[in-house]
Structure 1
Amino acid sequence: MFIAEAIPLFLNHCRTYKKLSSHTLKAYEADLKIFTSSTERELEDILDSNLIHDVTHAWLSCPDLKPATIKRRIATLKVFVRWLFKEKYIRAFPQETLSITVRLPKRLPRNLRTSEMKKLAAFSPECSAGSAPELGDQVTSRKAWDRLTARLAIEVMTLTGVRVGELTKIKPQDIDHGARKINVLGKGNRERRVFFPDQVTSTRIRRYFDYAKRNFGATSNDFLLFNGLGRSASEQYLRRVIRNYAEEMKVERRVTPHMLRHTAATQLLEAGVDIRLVQKLLGHASITTTEIYTHVADHHLHQKITKVNIRKRLENYR
Structure 2
Amino acid sequence: MDLSEASKLFLKYCEVEKKLSPHTINAYRGDLQQFEKQVDFPKSLDRFTEIWINSAIHVWRSDPDLKASTIKRRLATIKVFVRWLFQEELIASNITERLRLKIKIPKRLPRNVQTLEMRKLVAVDPEMLAERVLVNGKTLWDRRQWDRLTARLAIEILTLTGVRVGELVSIKIQDIDHTARQIYILGKGNRERRVVFPDRVTSTRIRAYRQSVRQRFGNDVTDALFLNGLGRPATDQYIRRIIRTFAENVELIKRVTPHMLRHTAATQLLEAGVDIRFVQKLLGHASITTTEIYTHVADHALRERISRVNVRKRLEINR
- The alignment's TM-score, normalised by the length of structure 1, stands at 0.92
Q: Tell me how far 1:24 sits from its aligned partner.
A: 1.5
Is 1:216 matched up with 2:217?
yes
- The alpha-carbon distance between structure 1 residues 226 and 52, as it changes in their structure 2 partners (threshold 3 A), is closer
Q: Tell me how far 1:94 sits from its aligned partner.
A: 1.8
Is 1:252 matched up with 2:247?
no
Q: Report if aligned partners of 1:168, 1:224 keep a CA contact under 8 Å in 2.
A: yes
Secondary structure in structure 1 of the residue aligned to 2:195: strand
Matches within 5 A, 1:27-38: 27-37=27-37, 38=40
Q: Report if aligned partners of 2:129, 2:148 keep a CA contact under 8 Å in 1.
A: no
Q: Report if aligned partners of 2:222, 2:232 keep a CA contact under 8 Å in 1.
A: no
- Identity across matched positions, percent: 59
- The alpha-carbon distance between structure 1 residues 8 and 133, as it changes in their structure 2 partners (threshold 3 A), is closer
Would you say how many aligned residue pairs link Structure 1 and Structure 2?
312
Q: Report if aligned partners of 2:244, 2:255 keep a CA contact under 8 Å in 1.
A: yes
Residue 8 of structure 1 is matched in structure 2 by 8
Structure 2 runs not aligned, ≥5 long: 134-138
- 2:233 & 2:219 partners in 1: Cα distance? 11
Q: Report the RMSD for the aligned CA atoms in angstroms.
A: 1.9
- The alpha-carbon distance between structure 1 residues 230 and 95, as it changes in their structure 2 partners (threshold 3 A), is closer
- 2:22 & 2:224 partners in 1: Cα distance? 18
- 2:240 & 2:129 partners in 1: Cα distance? 24
- 2:220 & 2:110 partners in 1: Cα distance? 39
Matches within 5 A, 1:1-318: 1-37=1-37, 38-46=40-48, 48-122=49-123, 131-132=127-128, 135=131, 140-220=141-221, 222-316=223-317
Counterpart residue type for residue 41 of structure 2 = T
Q: Tell me how far 1:259 sits from its aligned partner.
A: 0.9
- 2:231 & 2:29 partners in 1: Cα distance? 33
- The alignment's TM-score, normalised by the length of structure 2, stands at 0.92
Q: Report if aligned partners of 1:4, 1:40 keep a CA contact under 8 Å in 2.
A: no
- 2:267 & 2:197 partners in 1: Cα distance? 16
- 1:234 & 1:139 partners in 2: Cα distance? 23
Counterpart residue type for residue 9 of structure 1 = L
Structure 1 runs not aligned, ≥5 long: none
- 1:36 & 1:97 partners in 2: Cα distance? 20
Secondary structure in structure 1 of the residue aligned to 2:104: coil
- 2:205 & 2:140 partners in 1: Cα distance? 15
Q: Tell me how far 1:308 sits from its aligned partner.
A: 2.0
Q: Tell me how far 1:136 sits from its aligned partner.
A: 5.2
